[in-house]
Amino acid sequence: DIQMTQSPSSLSASVGDRVTITCRASQGISHYLAWYQQKPGKVPKFLISAASTLQSGVPSRFSGSVSGTDFSLIISSLQPEDVATYYCQKYNSAPFTFGGGTKVEIK
């Protein structure tokens, strides 16, 4: 099975900072990569589809990119409401594995 390695597992950054979260697939998955945001005590929210397609209503400070098997979620200017855990997920083939998650906090 393809493994999804997400890094870092946690980060602390200041309001306004640029934040990058990385997800590496152990094999090629083309663009079949999604990003989700889960705020404390809440249901996961779908952020980005197909590696870089922002979902409706998601602030434009969020973006996604891909280079080979390395995927990135970028928050261009971190806001207090972005405190959450972020997960990547592959869906090119089953199992639809999630990354381990990245907990984002405000410094």
Partner 1 sequence: EVQLLESGGGLVQPGGSLRLSCAASGFTFSNYAMNWVRQAPGKGLEWVSVISGRGGNTFYADSVKGRFTISRDNSKNTLYLEMNSLRAEDTAVYYCAKAQGTMTIYYDMDVWGQGTTVTVSS
- Site membership for partner 1, residue 36 (CB under 8 A): yes
Q: In the set 24, 74, 91, 106, which binds partner 1 (CB under 8 A)?
A: 91
Query: Residues 63 to 82: which contact partner 1 by CB under 8 A?
Result: none
Minimum Å gap between C-beta 16 and partner 1 is 28
Long-range contacts of 79-86 (CB under 8 A, 24+ apart): 79/15, 80/15, 80/106, 82/19, 82/37, 83/39, 83/40, 84/37, 84/38, 84/39, 84/40, 85/37, 85/38, 86/21, 86/35, 86/36, 86/37, 86/38, 86/47
Minimum Å gap between C-beta 26 and partner 1 is 16
Residues forming contacts to partner 1 in the complex (CB under 8 A) are 1, 32, 34, 36, 38, 43-46, 49-50, 55, 85, 87, 89, 91-101
